[in-house]
A = this chain, B = another copy of it.
Amino acid sequence: MVPVPVADGARDALALPDLAAIRAARERIAGFVHRTPVLTCASLDAETAARLCFKCENLQKVGAFKARGAVNAVFSLSDDAARHGVVTHSSGNHGAALAYAASRRGIAAWVVMPENAAKTKQENVRRLGATIRLCASNVAAREAACADVLRETGAVLIHPFDDARVIAGQGTAALELLEDVPDLDVVIAPLGGGGLLSGTAIAAKSLRPGIRVYGAEPANADDAARSFRSGRLEPLPATTTIADGLRTTLSVRTLAAIRAHVDAIGLAREASIVRAMRMTWERMKIVIEPSAAVPLACLLDGTLDVRGQHVGIIVSGGNVDLDRLPWQL
């Protein structure tokens, strides 16, 4: 089930970007996102017996790689399509990223969020200029609210990951990482809905066919690892992981990309995610969110073996509530 890569197109359920589309995305988003630094840390190298390079998307606009995909999607729209604005459902980083992208293009954005979404996240999206539409905290209510906005406004839906333009944008982080560090043996990205990992894998394997690409998933939300093995979507009834960005399940599109281009998926224990997060704060002096700590947690747990290798890790984001740190709960 390897899809035919196409440059663009959100309508085709299997459309995926190719390297050219990722390069085009990079040109398109250049003025609106940071070229984030790649950091190293001798003490984490010693801890993992590998040479690690961290591509710091926590230092990206809106604090997450999501700015890349959202900006690419919004600036890929024709003037006519963009005229009525954009809409998405997300209580997390994609909502903020879409608000940011829309404000940069000067169009309206609506973000559907559950009523119980944290006040700080709501304020953040509002500060970026989007309109929040609150709904009950379940999938049916969320889809109904999205449909309402689409009907009322004529806005375009930009899905958080099931969209070839979004995936192309997310792939630009790996493009930059491999420019800065061409001789990597392995690239690892966190794995939730699969948008980041799909874009990362397409970019990395296209540039360097011999590179290995790994996904990193919480053991408590291992739908992607199951789907990767079985070849069909295996959504879980409920997931309880501190890595709140990785609770979503794959789509047909991202499963296809991952089956085609990813070599392995590691699983991380909850305690290891917290430990990896704290180690990163203490030793690297950067603020990362639990989801961003999952690749390092997989190395600590030994579910991905990179000993002796030169390893790139996509640090996905840094949005955390500083009043509720996981080692203090």
Contact = CB atoms under 8 A, between A and B. Distances in A.
A285 B58 contact: yes
A298 B323 CA distance: 24
A278 interface: yes
A282 interface: yes
Contacts of A287: 281-282, 285-287
Query: How many subunits of this chain does the assembly comprise?
Result: 2
Interface in A4-36: 34
Given A63-B285, A278-B322, 7 more contacts: A42-B61, A59-B286, A281-B322, A282-B287, A286-B286, A287-B287, A328-B328
Contacts of A37: 37, 39
Interface string A281-296: 1101111100000000
A305 to B, nearest CB: 26
A282 B124 CA distance: 12
A130 to B, nearest CB: 16
Contacts of A59: 39, 284-286
A181 interface: no
A2 interface: no
Nearest to A283: B63
